[in-house]
Amino acid sequence: RDGALPAEHLPLILEVAPNADYSLLDSGAGQKLEQYGPYRIVRPEGQAIWQKALPAKDWDRADAIFTGDTDEEGIGRWRFPKTPLGETWPMKHDGIDYLGRFTSFRHVGVFPE
């Protein structure tokens, strides 16, 4: 190959600023606490090996909690401690409307980063 190599910029860090549509509220002990629109959601996060920063009372306010198999390809279930939520809910980002969805694979239909 001829010519100079392209510049390398490391590390690449993806960051999502909190907004009305999404916020990462806390993480730790293998979980993450997120705010998607009006809903507070707890999902597994294997890379969150540190301790949670927020007190348990903040985590206990979750509207939806993923339970069951946490394997990447495993099927799990959602638990709704307050009021049963529908399978989908309206969301928006930068003027784009779409639906969030509680899937059996712990995802919610969107990757904020």
Indicate the domain borders of the chain: 22-101
pLDDT in tens, 78-89: 899 998 888 888
Per-residue pLDDT of 10-67, as tens digits, reads 777 767 777 778 899 999 999 999 998 889 999 999 999 999 999 999 999 999 999 8
Question: Which CATH homologous superfamily contains domain 22-101?
Answer: Golgi alpha-mannosidase II (2.60.40.1180)
CA distance 6 to 3: 9
pLDDT at res. 21: 83
Nearest Cα residue to 36 out of 85, 2, 75: 85
pLDDT digit string (tens) for 58-68? 999 999 999 87
Of 104, 111, 67, 110, which Cα lies nearest the Cα of 89? 110
